[in-house]
């Protein structure tokens, strides 16, 4: 597996990489490129789903994003809006597959468990499962259970999306590592504009579960767990 690992805050972010994403996916599908893992920190961006774009409140949501310094991207995949910034880590997995559609639902479970384990390995009490009021809700979201004064609280840390084409699939994972406050603020305004349910308290960062966590340690843990699961 080829690794494209970009450390630090990288100019361009999700939007600049979107065309590149489609190019890589086509190259992998036509076997002109090996299976590829791309890891980077994005610029401040709110990624909407196609259903959000059709929502009557979409224009208001876009305005809220821009007013708060977040770029806007509409993905050709399902799900609802998710916000990212340089305190997040995006992991894009491109995999050749003769029958890419088979196993699409299973991939959500597989990667949910994989990233939960990577977070556990860096001292975060992570688990798989939807929590009430989370953004872009999903059965295989990854959340953290907090301790100390916030014992009993759960915060969502990981959101996922995927796209399937003939010959390959792309699975994208966004992990909130640090500085959840701006993400909470923009997500609250976006979901209000779209008329979607949201409990802002469910939006958090991995460092709230482990304040000593470093971005590079999580990157290393992800690559270790990938290797343990046979992705090489």
How many residues are listed for the chain in this entry?
A: 232
Of the chain, the percentage scoring pLDDT greater than 90 comes to 75
So what's the pLDDT on residue 69?
96
Residue 142 pLDDT more than 90? yes
Specify whether the backbone of 99 is left (phi greater than 0), alpha (psi in -120 to 50) or beta.
beta
Residue 15 pLDDT more than 80? no
Which of the 8 DSSP states describes residue 202? G
**Fold (CATH) for 2-229:** BirA Bifunctional Protein; domain 2 (3.30.930)
d(Cα 80, Cα 161) in Å, to the nearest integer? 10
So what's the pLDDT on residue 11?
45
Please state the separation of Cα 167 from the chain's center in Å: 23
Kind of pairing between the strands at 45-48 and 71-74: parallel
Mind giving me the DSSP string for 91-157?
Answer: EEEEEE-TTTTTTHHHHHHHHHHHHHHHHHHTT--EEES--TT-SS--TT-EEEE--GGGTT-EEEE
Q: What is the mean pLDDT of residues 158-184?
A: 94
Mean of the per-residue pLDDT values of the chain: 91
Burial-class residue 76 by CB neighbours within 10 Å (0-12, 13-18, 19+): exposed
The better pLDDT of the pair 135, 13 is held by 135
Q: What is the mean pLDDT of residues 40-55?
A: 92
What pTM value is reported for the model?
A: 0.92
Q: Which range among 140-154, 174-188, 210-224 shows the weakest confidence by mean pLDDT? A: 140-154
Residue 97 pLDDT more than 70? yes
The better pLDDT of the pair 207, 149 is held by 207
Residue ranges covered by each domain of the chain: 2-229
């Amino acid at each position: 597996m080829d690794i494209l690992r970009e450390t630090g805050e990288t100019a361009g972010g999700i939007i600049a990489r979107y065309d590149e994403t489609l190019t890589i996916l086509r190259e992998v599908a036509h076997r002109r490129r090996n299976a590829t893992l791309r890891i980077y920190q994005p610029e401040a961006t709110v990624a909407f789903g196609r259903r959000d774009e059709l929502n009557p409140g979409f224009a208001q949501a876009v305005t809220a994003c821009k007013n708060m310094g977040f770029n806007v991207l509409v993905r050709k995949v399902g799900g609802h809006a998710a916000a990212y910034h340089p305190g997040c880590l995006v992991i894009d997995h491109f995999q050749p597959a003769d029958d890419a559609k088979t196993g699409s639902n299973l991939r959500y479970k597989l990667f949910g468990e994989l990233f939960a384990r990577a977070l556990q390995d860096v001292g975060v009490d992570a688990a798989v499962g939807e929590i009430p009021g989370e953004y872009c809700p999903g059965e295989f979201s990854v959340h953290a259970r907090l301790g100390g004064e916030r014992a009993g609280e759960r915060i969502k840390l990981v959101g996922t999306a995927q796209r399937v084409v003939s010959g390959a699939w792309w699975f994208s994972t966004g992990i909130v590592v640090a500085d959840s406050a701006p993400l909470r603020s923009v997500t609250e305004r976006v979901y209000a504009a779209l008329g979607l349910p949201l409990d802002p308290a469910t939006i958090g960062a991995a460092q709230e579960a482990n304040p000593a966590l470093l971005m590079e340690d999580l990157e290393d843990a992800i690559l270790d767990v990938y290797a343990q699961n046979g992705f090489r």
